[in-house]
Amino acid sequence: MSWNFEELQQQAEQESTSISDARALEEFRIKYLGKKGLVAEIYASLPQLSKEEKPAVGKGANDLRNTVSRIIEEKKTAIKQKEKQSSKRFLDVTMPGVALEAGHQHLITQTIEEICGLFERLGFVIQDGPEMETEFNNFSALNIPEDHPSRDGFDTFYLDAQDPTDKTKKLLLRSHTSPGQIRIMKNNKPPLAVIIPGRVYRPDAVDASHSFMFHQIEGLLVDKDVKFSDLKGLLTAFCQRFFGRDIKMRFRPHFFPFTEPSAEVDISWAKGKKDWLEIMGCGMVHPKVFEAAGYPKGKYTGLAFGLGVERIAMLKHGITDIRNFYENDKRFLEQF
């Protein structure tokens, strides 16, 4: 079989002029350069050719292969270019956009920020404390005796980690935010007014009103001549701002080892209803606590309080199950 290479070259050039997309280009490639394509066929015929014919046919096949390869490269670029331009041309700026759903803060975070914001406006500074604490800060410095039940492993998560400040003790997950008081007092001199929000941990069995992790907000104000009336005035101002002016509240005597006297604050806001709901503990800082923090005896007085964030959010929004906060169900979260 003889080949007219000049004609084949022209034919390839000719055919290529009508190629305008990737599919046509692929067909073209298969026809000439594919396994069973024309160039392969020509190479396959070489063994049957005479010695004299071989070089010319071989060269013709090589040239044809080079031409076709060049055409393919050129076309590829051209097609890409065209696709780019056409996608530009079809951009319709009047088409409605894809709306992105905006997220928002979790109700717990909103509540913490709202409460902290109210105290900030009253002059308090917001501070952080670590969730991993020493037994000293979490209990001893707060005048909680060695045999107090809350120190038991059933009531506190002890970590498998040695306390670097007391090698006989283990570190623990703080069971309340009150150890934040000790940290602040160890490092600062009065007058001071701080708010310490954060997570706390207790090995409670989980039910509608208990979780092994929840949030508290601690408050501490230390100065000379702080009185119980300051505590009452401060917490009344807070409750009225947070729950509304008509809120009814009372200070009910209670016991906490780290305050003396101590009280619990109850509120009642459902009109016509008589039941009181406890929302926080409070009191005047115990002299033993000042002593543990290294303050001189008798020089300062202070007030302290601690409230549970979940509890307050549940009361304010009528939520009946604490587990709702942690389940990440959008149908719940989106309501707030």
> Interface residues with ligand DAH (CB under 6 A)?
176, 178, 218, 256, 259, 281-283, 304-306
Query: Residues 76-80: contacts with CB within 8 Å, 24+ apart?
Result: 76/25, 79/20, 79/21, 79/22, 79/25
Closest to ligand DAH by CB, 39 vs 112, is 112
Q: Tell the smallest beta-carbon distance from residue 268 to ligand DAH (Å).
A: 20
- Amino acid letter, residue 36: K
Closest to ligand DAH by CB, 135 vs 218, is 218
Closest to ligand DAH by CB, 108 vs 282, is 282
What is the Cα–Cα distance from 112 to 118, expressed in whole angstroms? Answer: 10
Number of C-alpha atoms within 13 angstroms, CB side, residue 86? Answer: 8
What is the Cα–Cα distance from 9 to 19, expressed in whole angstroms? Answer: 16
Q: Tell the smallest beta-carbon distance from residue 284 to ligand DAH (Å).
A: 8
What is the Cα–Cα distance from 112 to 135, expressed in whole angstroms? Answer: 26
Q: Tell the smallest beta-carbon distance from residue 263 to ligand DAH (Å).
A: 8
Task: Read off the DSSP letter of residue 207.
Answer: B
What is the Cα–Cα distance from 172 to 134, expressed in whole angstroms? Answer: 6
Q: Tell the smallest beta-carbon distance from residue 261 to ligand DAH (Å).
A: 10
Q: Tell the smallest beta-carbon distance from residue 111 to ligand DAH (Å).
A: 17
Q: Tell the smallest beta-carbon distance from residue 164 to ligand DAH (Å).
A: 24
Closest to ligand DAH by CB, 138 vs 324, is 138
Closest to ligand DAH by CB, 124 vs 256, is 256
Closest to ligand DAH by CB, 28 vs 305, is 305
Residue in 46, 72, 78 with CA at minimum distance from that of residue 59? 46
Structure-token match 């780290």, residue found: 258
Token pair, residue 67, equals 């031409």
